[in-house]
């Protein structure tokens, strides 16, 4: 026996619709959590990432001992949290002697782990340590410019993966229209060696230049850190193909005998089969048929007349 | 200095950055850092410089897009992003057509938009199509004409209600079937959940009954009787109350006991014997009661004799001896036994 359960509340229905899979996707929500042990710097890193992604991020502050992203059984908790909070990227911080200031950035597909990148954080400078003119501070939730510098991002596998993951993490919502006055932040990632990336967050100052395009000036405001790539796990081919599929990839089914022209627009071809002249049913009945009817009517009239005569005679 | 100049010139020639305006992304794959600058500050400065160039490149293409004036500033329509990123959820599957939709398509039935209010002939007003005070409500029908096909004992109003109920149930069943079909291919609408109300039926047709607290206690008691000690020493679950004793309560005297005033066994046997033997036989016979019974019997006898002289009906004669017999047996019980035992 099955029972149909629908939400009794409009609010719940809207929430469910927000979480349903969509054809075109907007930004992913981020889940920030920590493991058994964290260091001071790591706490700072996690809270600053949360600040940067204030609108679309969820921060868990308790320690989670049973999460080990790179082990096969240690992902169940992560998947459960992802399902409950509807987050598709997670940032997991932990600190151990072997891997100090460890940060695992991972993505989910359908609330299952898709890929992971493990980086170590070095030379972390928090927002407070930067001095700048407070008026230029970027506003929360503005869409950032993202700049990647370095051939390492093209040549080295791990850095290529990291570039993709960082792009996913740092870009905000995918929007169609953007207000040019609201652009005030930029992330700059430079590959300084084959496994190190220098990431920094800057505010943008627009300066007058001769043309329509203003001159950009970057001022470091936000956190800056060195990311050392430790491990990474790429998604398996099948999963990657499925995740990369978009609605437009499906080729439009070609309708037969329809073509479009620049001048005339849509043109269609109609094929008419050969007419069989002899077998066509004629719409107007032949004269012969009509005559038959007339004669039949005459006969009837005669018969009736004869009958009347008989009656009269009787 | 010369080296730097050379590098800069090389850079200028290899200008093309990979710019993705949809993402506000710029990538410079040609810059290499063969040797890190000595101090951190210099590194930072260099990175910022590179970053500025890239951001400038993006801004160039961005500000040249056609813009519309808005309240806060110029609004620009972004092109779709070129760098592909994996989706976070699977592509939604289109809902399969329901059985009615398939039938309608086959027959060519068009869906017609219905009005919220309908003209009601009976009252001559516009009434709702459904809900409170609706058009063809069952309770508004005053008279139902009897038809030749009607059976005599059937209530037509109740029949109408039953028919409606059946229709509604059928519709619910069809809706469930449609949703199950959609769920099978993974296209269930986001706000609907199908929940199983009971376990699937395996074996017997009857669904498992709910056991009450009393029944559980009885069953536990029955299981306890199968043990030699009657369940007295069975390990109990936390919170389980001790079993209630069933059947007669028997009290057994202790095996070894001192003689004297407190000898219970002696008392027990004495009381039993006294009841049987006639030593205190006067206590057995209730004298008052015996006297009243005798007196009553005597009065009745006298009354009956007077009636006999007056009426002399056979019915009373018939009744009399039987009554006497009954009285006699009632009295004879203890008296007869007394006589027997005394011997």
Return the higher-pLDDT residue of A226 and A287.
A226
Residues on chain B touching A174 (C-beta within 8 angstroms)? 22, 81
Cα–Cα distance, B257 to B264 (Å, whole number): 8
Nearest CA of chain A to the CA of B130: how many Å? 20
Return the closest-CA partner of residue B164 out of B130, B194, B192, B197.
B130
Tell me the mean pLDDT in the region B40-53: 88
Query: What is the model's pTM?
Result: 0.64
Rounded Cα gap, residues B306 and B308, in angstroms: 5
Which residue shows structure tokens 């609108």? A55
Q: Do residues A153 and A227 make contact, with C-beta atoms less than 8 angstroms apart? A: no
The first and second tokens of residue B284, run together, are: 């057995």
What local confidence, expressed as pLDDT, does residue A251 receive?
Answer: 64
* Collapsed DSSP state (helix, strand, coil) of residue A255: coil
**How many other β-carbons are positioned within 10 Å of the β-carbon of residue A30?**
22
- Nearest by CB to B74, from A5, A152, A180: name it: A180
User: Whole-angstrom Cα distance, residue A169 to residue A30?
Assistant: 8
Measured between beta carbons, the chain A residues lying within 8 angstroms of B180 are 2
Residues of chain B with Cβ-Cβ distance to A88 below 8 Å are: 88-89
Give the best-scoring range by mean pLDDT among A78-82, B269-273, B287-291: A78-82
Identify the weakest region by mean pLDDT among A54-68, A269-283, B82-96. Answer: A269-283
Decide: residue A159, CB within 10 A, 0-12 exposed, 13-18 middle, 19+ buried: buried
Per-residue pLDDT at B206: 65
Q: What residues in B contact A223, CB-CB < 8 Å? A: none
Answer for the pair B71, A169: CB distance below 8 angstroms, yes or no.
Answer: no
Q: Mean pLDDT in chain B?
A: 80
Tally of CB atoms within 10 A around A104: 24
Given B31, B51, B193, which is nearest A5 (Cβ)?
Answer: B193
Q: Radius of gyration over alpha carbons of chain B, in Å?
A: 53
ipTM of the complex: 0.73
Q: How many Å apart are CA B129 and CA B114, to the nearest integer?
A: 9
* pLDDT level of residue B139 (50, 70, 90 thresholds): confident
d(CA B17, CA B20): 9
Given a cut of 80, whether residue B49 has pLDDT beyond it is yes
Round to whole Å and give the CA distance between A194 and A229.
9
Contact criterion met (CB < 8 Å) for A190 and B51: yes
* Strand (E) or helix (H) holding A40: helix A40-52
Burial B215-232 (b: 16+ CB within 10 A, else e): eeeeebeeeeeeeeeebe
**pLDDT score, position B243:** 66
């Amino acid at each position: 026996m099955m029972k149909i359960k629908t939400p009794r509340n409009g609010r719940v229905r809207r929430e469910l619709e927000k979480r349903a899979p969509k054809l075109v996707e907007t930004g992913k929500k981020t889940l920030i959590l920590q493991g058994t042990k964290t260091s001071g710097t790591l706490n700072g890193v996690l809270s600053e990432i949360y600040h940067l992604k204030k609108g679309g991020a969820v921060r868990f502050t308790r320690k989670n001992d049973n999460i080990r992203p790179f082990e096969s059984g240690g992902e169940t908790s992560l998947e459960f949290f992802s399902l409950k909070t509807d987050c598709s990227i997670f940032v997991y911080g932990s600190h151990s002697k072997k891997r100090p200031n460890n940060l695992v950035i991972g993505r989910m597909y359908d609330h299952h782990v898709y890929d992971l990148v493990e980086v170590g954080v070095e030379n972390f400078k928090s927002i407070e340590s930067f001095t700048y003119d407070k008026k230029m501070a970027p506003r929360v939730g503005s869409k950032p410019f993202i700049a990647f510098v370095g051939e390492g991002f093209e040549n080295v596998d791990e850095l290529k993966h990291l570039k993709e993951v960082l792009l996913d993490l740092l870009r905000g919502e995918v929007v169609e229209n953007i207000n040019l006055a609201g652009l005030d932040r930029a992330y700059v990632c430079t590959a300084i060696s084959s496994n190190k990336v220098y990431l920094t967050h800057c505010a943008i100052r627009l300066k007058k230049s001769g043309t329509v395009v203003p001159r950009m000036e970057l001022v470091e405001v936000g956190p800056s850190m060195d990311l050392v790539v430790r491990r990474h796990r790429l998604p398996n081919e099948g999963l990657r193909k499925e995740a990369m599929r978009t609605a437009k990839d499906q080729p439009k089914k070609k309708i037969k005998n329809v073509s479009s022209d620049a001048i005339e627009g849509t043109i269609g071809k109609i094929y008419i089969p050969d007419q069989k002249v002899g077998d066509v049913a004629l719409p107007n009945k032949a004269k012969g048929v009509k005559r038959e009817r007339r004669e039949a009517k005459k006969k009837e009239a005669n018969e009736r007349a004869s009958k009347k005569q008989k009656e009269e005679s009787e | 200095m010369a080296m730097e100049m050379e590098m800069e010139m090389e850079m200028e020639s290899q200008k093309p950055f990979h710019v993705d305006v949809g993402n506000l992304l710029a990538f410079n794959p040609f810059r290499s850092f063969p040797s890190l600058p000595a101090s951190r500050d210099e590194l930072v400065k260099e990175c910022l410089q590179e970053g500025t160039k890239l951001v400038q490149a993006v801004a160039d293409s961005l500000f040249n897009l056609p813009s519309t004036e808005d309240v806060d500033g110029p609004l620009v329509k972004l092109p779709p992003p070129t760098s592909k990123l994996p989706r976070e959820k699977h592509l939604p599957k289109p809902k399969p057509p329901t059985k009615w939709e398939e039938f309608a398509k086959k027959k060519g039935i068009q869906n017609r938009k219905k009005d919220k209010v309908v003209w009601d002939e009976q009252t001559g007003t516009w009434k709702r199509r459904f809900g409170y005070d609706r058009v063809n409500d069952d309770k508004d029908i005053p008279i139902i004409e009897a038809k030749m096909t009607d059976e005599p004992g059937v209530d037509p109003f109740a029949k109408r209600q039953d028919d409606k109920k059946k229709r509604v149930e059928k519709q619910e069943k069809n809706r469930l079937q449609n949703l199950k079909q959609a769920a099978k291919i993974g296209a269930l609408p986001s706000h609907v959940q199908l929940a199983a109300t009971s376990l699937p039926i395996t074996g017997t047709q009857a669904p498992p009954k709910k056991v009450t607290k009393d029944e559980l206690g009885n069953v536990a008691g029955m299981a306890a009787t199968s043990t030699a000690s009657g369940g007295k020493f069975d390990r109990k679950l936390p919170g389980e109350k001790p079993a209630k004793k069933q059947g007669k309560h028997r009290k057994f005297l202790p095996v070894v006991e001192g003689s004297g005033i407190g000898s219970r066994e002696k008392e027990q046997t004495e009381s039993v014997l006294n009841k049987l033997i006639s030593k205190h036989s006067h206590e057995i016979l209730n004298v008052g009661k015996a006297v009243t019974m005798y007196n009553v019997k005597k009065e009745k006898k006298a009354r009956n004799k007077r009636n006999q002289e007056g009426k002399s009906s056979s019915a009373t004669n018939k009744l009399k001896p039987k009554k006497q017999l009954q009285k006699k047996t009632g009295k004879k019980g203890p008296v007869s036994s007394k006589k027997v035992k005394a011997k």
